[in-house]
Amino acid sequence: MPGREFFQTQSVGQALAGFRPRRRTGPETVRREDALGRVPARAVRSGVPLPGFARSTVDGYAVRAADTYGAGDGLPAYLDVVGALRMGTAADVEVRSGGAVQIPTGAAVPGSADAVVMIEHTQVTMPGVIEVTRPVAVGDGVVRPDEDVAVGNELVPAGRPLRAQDLGLLAAAGITRLVVLRRPRVAIISTGDEVVAPDTECVSPGQVRDATASALAALVLQAGGEPASYGIVPDDLELLTKTLTTAVAECDLVVVSAGSSVGARDETTAAVEALGAPGVYCHGLAIKPGKPTLLAECADVPVIGLPGNPLSALVVFRMVGLPVLRLVGGITTVPPEPSTAATMARPVASAAGRLDVVQVSVRDGVATPLFGHSALLSLLTSADGYVVIPEPATGLDAGTSVTVTMYR
């Protein structure tokens, strides 16, 4: 059986470092308006300087700085007002020595002026003449034509999802389209004879509605992927292999939430092996909840087999699936996640050598662990976030300072 020698429980750190499927999404061109959260395929550089002209940062008078040297309340500099500039037009007035031109904030400063004196530091003593009561240095009150961005400067880097201000700077530089990496298409396959569609009105005893697929789709969306539902497959090797084959052909990442029985888990493994090399990377992660996790690569497409419990499946997908999703989608700068500092209200036990993910509610800086069987999904909806107990630790004492990753 190919890959059988790799069937072993790995630590989450080992798995994330070692499981590097080759699949990457390709480039596509999108409009800037649609680019929030998208990942630039390469750095976007500016073809223009910004603001593009010497720009006044104050309301006042454009002057030659030398004319104001030594000016003060006792000995103001007197300058002739030779005109007034308007917003949005070229500064086509010449400021000669001894002259000044009225200018609003944001307007273009004439090339013949080299500073703008604030209106607060001037007085109009007679029509057409101002007193300047404070000296200005060259460049005061002015932003240089390429002070914000010079030609060739990087506007946005490759690999970091675009943020609001990035779109603003792209707009300022006149970028209307850009090349981003395609959103990874993520196949979501649910399996299990007991699993029925969420819109099933009446379920029989023994049946459960599929909770995992809906939640996984949401996580994929939040992480910048495109979820694709492949429905619910009963515990039947042939059917699962068929669905998996289609999903691998059509998607960039495949997620199978296994039925909860041992038999169902074995079927996922068998189906993955039926698809061929490179096959199973690891079978079992040293994580609680979530041990029965399968990582595999079919052709170049990563396949993640999740545990049957919705809670376990969602924990593992956050910890292992999202990093793989980002790898495939070319996200090299991971967006920051909400977190908060807290102290543990109660002790939590853990086994050394295993990563424990503890659901907590947080109030006034105190994190209270939520205990309960991992078959209970309500544990996850009651939680505000989770605390990770690293592999070497054997637990957390009450009062320990922890970082809680918060759900949003």
When asked if residue 115 is in the footprint of a copy of itself (CB under 8 A), the reply is: no
Out of 67, 114, 166, 297, the residue judged to bind a copy of itself by CB under 8 A: 166
Are the C-beta atoms of 10 and 18 separated by less than 8 Å? yes
> Of 255, 245, 266, 404, whose CA–CA distance to 316 is shortest?
255
Instruction: List, in sequence order, the alpha helices (H) in 173-321.
Output: 212-222, 237-250, 262-274, 310-316
Q: Of the candidates 298, 250, 242, which has an alpha carbon nearest to the alpha carbon of residue 273?
A: 298
CB of 101 to a copy of itself, least distance (A): 13
Q: Could you tell me if 28 and 180 are in contact, meaning their C-beta atoms sit under 8 angstroms apart?
A: yes
Interface pick for a copy of itself out of 39, 65, 71, 108 (rule CB under 8 A) = 108
Which of 264, 355, 358, 360 binds a copy of itself (CB under 8 A)? It is 264
Q: Does 247 bind a copy of itself (CB under 8 A)?
A: no
- Does residue 372 sit in helix, strand or coil? coil
Q: Encoding tokens for residue 357?
A: 């993910």
* Interacting positions 275-294 with a copy of itself (CB under 8 A): none
The structure tokens listed for 218 are 């949401």
Binding to a copy of itself, residues 295-314 (CB under 8 A): 308, 310, 314
Asked if 338 touches a copy of itself (CB under 8 A), the answer is yes
Token duo for residue 29: 């061109």
The two structure tokens encoding residue 196: 């029925």
Q: Which is nearer to a copy of itself, 135 or 310 (CB)?
A: 310
Interacting positions 186-215 with a copy of itself (CB under 8 A): 192-196, 198-201, 203-215
Task: Count the residues of the shown chain that bind a copy of itself, applying the rule CB under 8 A.
Answer: 100
Which residues in 368-387 contact a copy of itself (CB under 8 A)? 373, 375-378, 380-381, 383-385
Q: Pick between residue 213 and residue 319 the one whose CB is nearest to a copy of itself.
A: 213
- Residue 370, Cβ neighbours under 10 Å: how many? 17
CB 183 within 8 A of CB 225: yes
Residues between 41 and 80 that touch a copy of itself (CB under 8 A):
50-53, 55, 57, 59
From candidates 263, 347, 365, 390, binder to a copy of itself by CB under 8 A: 263
Minimum separation from the CB atom of position 88 to a copy of itself (A): 4
With left for phi above 0 and alpha for psi between -120 and 50, is residue 373 left, alpha or beta? beta
